[in-house]
Chain A
């Protein structure tokens, strides 16, 4: 599957395209198929996202899993500061990245 991701313009937060808007949680991301570039263009023009790009991912029971480690780290947060990730209470969150 293909996901569309980027950063929120004013805050810089990592965001994922949900089909209707942007979410901070990769679990909310949807397959954009071949529409990624078009959505990116429209959303960037409307300043709802900064630097959007399309990535490969696989569908898993827990939600989409980005193919590249860099995007998995973006989805979670820094592996060396679990307290600052999106899942501070999950001791195994880091292993999802690797």
Chain B
């Protein structure tokens, strides 16, 4: 994985000092909260319901054991012993003191981490495929492209006060594990005439106006990559709406201009920008890519597995994925124990996952947008040992992509924007469907819960989505069906009137009953919904 050189270290160290100075000026009363807010937000520091919340960047979701141990250390020293992994592959601490924030950033910097641009109206952490470098179906590792963009976007002087936040995802496989087309810019690395370049999708997003990004350019070669993105952002910075923050995302600009017109504007801007010589040379790409070279696999690693332990076999079938290297596998550690808090991990659990990565996965971990953790390069022969250790730590829930593998935003338990709680609902649903046999009978079923229309819990992209609203001071939940954040991307449709917390658990059960009754051979819940449409589900739900 990427290692800082003197330049990266220098920039991040400067950032720590800059933020220390800004915090000091705020605490001394030299700047007001209004002036400080955009500064702290550009460093991922929010004021939430109970305290300050700090969002630490995990660039493209990749980290090593030293970094993971540091996350545990910070949880213990400055927070309350846990952290929350987010849908943008980051980690949030919920109980941070403003006066500690500079020291936390200094600690993070010692392990090449930071909180740069994890909030604010700027280019956020670049997200990617959590199986990058390991997936059997990938063309190339997308992370060198993501790292190139991390550097390009960090403290970008022109794009630090955009109309609104800006999220970029990069993938390089047919299967989309990163909700690529639901980002402001989604990039898929493809090959043409022996050269690598990007398919560029612009204008996707969730929030209150969900949209799927249209294809803006079918191939941008590496030589033009940074220039083209600079042009995409400049058109947005100049013409994106600033009169209404709810219409300020790039998806609205593209919706209003039309994708063709936007693409034409970008082409024109690109011609001007390309002449500036701002594209890094191939040597820089190669330097970065060398950091992502495959690890030293054991060529004699065996493919055979002892499946005689039935609980282990279920976990193998559910949470272990194909690796490109024979004898190896990809492990997804579920952070969704039945009745637990989706995405939360205690400092002890974080340390354990770090230890497992160091011992069994070439010192690498990934955070997934579904709020789980991945050990990307594991010898099959080590799987049973890993599973036993995970089981002892409460981390062996065998529910990847099943109904209890729920994405949930922090909701009204933590978030000052939320209208309803998300976590208690996730706990109730997981508990109702806790039987693993029943869950596996239902098969792949992605359930996603947001506590307000900002859609941090990706409810638009859930096979089953839930949106929490405030109805006259009482929490109320709307149900959506038919969304997907994968390569078969689609947006969910609201079933009808909303439900109470218990009511919606019943409604979900009725919807899954329709699926079990009506499904054809091999169909997932989503497939049956797409074939039959809303009517039979609606009838069963509202009867």
Binding site for B on A (CB under 8 A): 7, 9-14, 44, 47, 50-51, 67-70, 73-74, 77-81, 84
Residues of A within 8 A of B52 (CB): 12
Chain A contact residues: helix, strand, loop or mixed: loop
**Does B49 lie within 8 Å of A12, measured CB to CB?**
no
| B379 at interface, CB cutoff 8 A | no
Once the chains bind, are B98 and A70 in contact (CB under 8 Å)? no
Q: Which listed residue (B49, B341, B427) contacts A73, Cβ 8 A?
A: B49
Interface SS of chain B: helix, strand, loop or mixed? mixed
A12–B47 touching, CB < 8 Å: yes
Q: Is the CB of B412 within 8 A of A70?
A: yes
Q: How far is the CA of A50 from the CA of B51 in the complex (A)?
A: 11
On whether the beta carbons of B98 and A78 are closer than 8 Å, the reply is no
Chain B residues with CB under 8 Å of chain A are 26-27, 29, 33, 47, 49-52, 80, 94-99, 341, 412-414, 416, 418, 421, 423-424, 427, 473-475
Chain B proximity of A74: nearest CB distance (Å): 5
Chain A residues with CB below 8 A from B414, complex form: 78
Contact between B27 and A9 (Cβ–Cβ < 8 Å)?
A: yes
| B413 partner residues in chain A, CB cutoff 8 A | 73, 78-81
Please determine whether B33 and A77 come into contact, CB atoms closer than 8 angstroms.
Answer: no
**Which chain B positions have C-beta within 8 A of A78?**
49-50, 94, 413-414
Residue of A nearest to B32 (CB): A44
A-B contact count (CB 8 A): 67
Q: Quick check: A11 and B473 within 8 Å, CB to CB?
A: no
Q: Chain B nearest CB: distance from A2 CB in Å?
A: 17
Residue from the list B51, B412, B427 in contact with A11, Cβ < 8 A: B51
Contacts of B421 in A (CB 8 A): 79-80
* B361 CB to nearest A CB, Å: 30
Is there contact, CB below 8 Å, between A12 and B412? Answer: no
Known contacts A50-B33, A69-B473; is-contact A12 B424 (Cβ 8 Å):
no
Given A10-B99, A78-B414, A69-B47 contact (CB < 8 Å): no
Central interface residue in A13, A70, A79, by most chain B CB within 10 Å: A70
Residues of A within 8 A of B412 (CB): 69-70, 73
A51:B473 contact, CB within 8 angstroms: no
> Known contacts A70-B416, A78-B50, A80-B427; can you find 14 more A-B pairs with CB under 8 A?
A10-B98, A10-B99, A12-B47, A12-B98, A50-B33, A68-B473, A70-B49, A70-B418, A73-B49, A73-B412, A79-B413, A79-B421, A80-B423, A81-B413
Chain B residue with Cβ nearest A10: B99
A46 and B40 CA atoms in complex are apart in Å by 20
Q: Check A12/B51 contact, CB under 8 A, given A70-B412, A78-B414, A80-B413.
A: yes
The answer on a CB contact under 8 Å between A84 and B47 is no
Collect the chain B residues with CB atoms within 8 Å of residue A13's CB: 50-51
Determine the distance from Cα of A84 to Cα of B412 in the docked complex, in whole angstroms: 15
Residues of B within 8 A of A79 (CB): 413, 421, 424
Chain B positions within 8 Å of A44 at CB level? 33
Specify which chain B residues have a CB less than 8 angstroms from the CB of A81 in the assembled complex.
Answer: 341, 413
- State in angstroms the CA–CA spacing of A44 and B34 once bound together: 12
Q: In the complex, what residues of B have CB within 8 A of residue A68's CB?
A: 473
Given A7-B47, A73-B49, A12-B473 contact (CB < 8 Å): no
Name which residue of chain B comes closest to A83, CB basis: B80
* Residues of A with C-beta under 8 A to B475: 69
Contact B33 A74 (CB under 8 A): no
A12–B96 CA distance with the chains assembled, in angstroms? 7
Q: How far is B33's CA from A84's CA once the two chains are assembled, in angstroms?
A: 27
State whether A74 and B50 are in contact (beta carbons under 8 Å apart), knowing that A10-B27, A10-B98 are contacts in the complex: yes
Cβ–Cβ < 8 Å partners of B418 in chain A = 70
